[in-house]
Chains A and B, each alone.
Chain A
Amino acid sequence: MSQCEGLQDIYAHAAVRGFGRALRIALRQQKDFSSLVDLDGAERPEDFAEALKRFLRRFDALARRRRLRRPTQQMLEEIAELVDSYGVKVVRAAIISHALVAVGRPETEEEVSEEVVEEEGNGNAN
């Protein structure tokens, strides 16, 4: 795991970025409110891991249908390590931060065009 100093470093972490991007797409495309509620309610690392697992399960259907890149097993492990080091609140805040930002031009469906990539070669965290 890389050395993180502040919330900004955690925000820039590749695993957080990967999960944040997936959450952003899920919220936009699927209105995945359930995952947001799950993440909101997670207080302990075990609850958070469970919430992420459920999110990935829901996201998997969308990713298969729209051929989106999914967070990898390695990313999930790195998230777990970050949670152990910094706690649930910090990692959750960093992931959700990615979910609220605008990538590229606003008002467009930029996520779909940007995120649609070939599924081959990408791992599945589930």
Chain B
Amino acid sequence: MQFAITKTGLDVFDTARAWGLAAVASARAQSDVRIRDRGWSFTIDVQNAHTAVVGPSPLLALIDATDENWSFIFITSSQEERKNKISDVEKCIKSLTNTSLPQITEKISESVFTSRGKTLPGGLDPGGFKGVRQQTRARYDEGQLRVNADHWALACLGMVLCATYQRIGSGSVPRTIALLPVPLDVTVAQWAEIRELTRWPRATPGTSVSEPRLSRQVAGSAAAAQAAVQLAERVRKRAVAQGSLVDRFSDILFFELFKTGNQQKPAQGNRIRLDRLMAMIQHDATVAEGVFEWLDYCFRRGSAKGAQDLALAAADFVFRWDVDSYDRLVRLFVRYLVTEEIRLAKRPSEEVIGEVLRYVSV
């Protein structure tokens, strides 16, 4: 059975809905779910849809009210409002649980934008903030963006399961970056796998050191680029385990939030393309491992005070893959080597650099 999430132009909202629906469908059908980006829509194919069981299912385990992602999604709401909103999401998802798969198709085919719907939170998609969608000039009276309750719940669920909110910067103004991988063609066996594949563990004392996690970067673009490299490494491992590159991601969407006086506001947002990283895995997964390790090291080393230029250069390179950015990165890397700020053991091999150069546009 196939579901379609028609894109609205709000990239994060659209992708989050696709992930949310994939999780619901996977939990309902208890079978493989394939998420594909078709350009104008995301399609979700559920195998063995006929075996789907209506009623209590592992679906409710999907919603973990203690997940700290909720506090970022509803970052503009008070604690009480947040609790009520999480409860609303639970109700909507529960209602989807009690309907058959064909009925879910009907429900999600309803119009997304509706004046009687739920307010799209700015922490979920920066398009939800006022003043972003259109010019407000002197008067600040833009209305809230309201969306259909089912789509709203699916987007919230997708964002809770698949997005990562990470603190960045070192100044007095706290900044947060939200990262959401965009599936190009991903198949997952169960909903919990979606979370494992798309989220980064938070750096807490309990986190294993060996577990790859994002360094605290000065710039949001550096955090996003490191996320891209680490996601590519996860995909590479899956490709090695499966024997070929089955799962592909197209981009990572990201946007920053920062606190003004007493309100959160969106800062820069963008997407980082993963096509070159995916092509590397396809070409040679073994050499790709070395490439990802080297780039990740540049980000980790560049997260230290005084070496941030290395992370920024690596981020620029992962965004652009051109000679200018590559030239800047290698010159910085060599400089750090000469000054012994980078250990010799961290140098990439000739083969790794050769592979990187294969994808640099001249």
Contacts A36-B338, A97-B357, A102-B347 given; indicate if A90 touches B362 (C-beta within 8 A).
yes
Within the complex, the shortest CB–CB distance from A26 to chain B, in Å, comes to: 10
**Secondary structure dominating the interface of B:** helix
Distance of A51 Cα from B343 Cα, bound (Å) = 27
How far apart sit A99 and B332, CA to CA, in the bound complex (Å)? 12
How far does the alpha carbon of A17 sit from the alpha carbon of B146 in the complex, in Å?
A: 60
Query: Binary interface profile of A, 70-105, with partner B (CB < 8 Å = 1, else 0)?
Result: 000000000000000010011011101111111100
Q: Are A27 and B337 in contact (CB under 8 A)?
A: yes
- Is the CB–CB distance between B334 and A6 below 8 Å? no
Specify the main secondary structure of chain A where it touches its partner: helix
CB proximity of B259 to chain A, nearest CB, Å: 39
B343-362 vs A, CB cutoff 8 Å, 1 = contact: the mask equals 11101111011100110101
Other A-B contacts than A31-B338, A36-B338, A89-B323, 4 sampled, CB-CB below 8 A, are A89-B327, A98-B350, A102-B347, A107-B345
Residues of B within 8 A of A (CB): 323-324, 326-327, 330-331, 333-335, 337-338, 343-345, 347-350, 352-354, 357-358, 360, 362
Whether B323 lies near A11 (C-beta < 8 A) is no
**Bound-state Cα–Cα, A96 to B334, Å:** 8
**Contact with B331, one of A94, A96, A98 (Cβ below 8 angstroms):** A96
Say whether A61 faces chain B, with CB atoms less than 8 Å apart. no
Within 8 Å CB of B349, what residues of A? Answer: 101-102
Q: List 18 A-B contacts (CB under 8 A).
A: A7-B323, A7-B360, A8-B354, A8-B357, A11-B353, A11-B354, A27-B338, A31-B338, A90-B323, A93-B326, A97-B330, A101-B347, A101-B349, A101-B350, A101-B353, A102-B347, A102-B348, A107-B345
**Min C-beta distance of B349 to chain A, whole Å:** 6
- Tell me how far the C-beta of A22 lies from the nearest C-beta in chain B, rounded to whole angstroms: 14
Interface string of A15-53 (1 = CB under 8 A from B): 000000000000100010100100010000000000000
A102 surroundings in chain B (CB, below 8 A):
344-345, 347-350
The interface residues of chain A lying within 8 Å CB-to-CB of B323 are 7, 89-90, 93
Q: A11-B353, A93-B323, A101-B348 are in contact. Are A6 and B338 (CB under 8 A)?
A: no
Contacts of A103 in B (CB 8 A): 350
In angstroms, how far is the closest chain B Cβ from the Cβ of A19? Answer: 14
User: How far apart are the CA atoms of A92 and B362 in the complex, in Å?
Assistant: 13
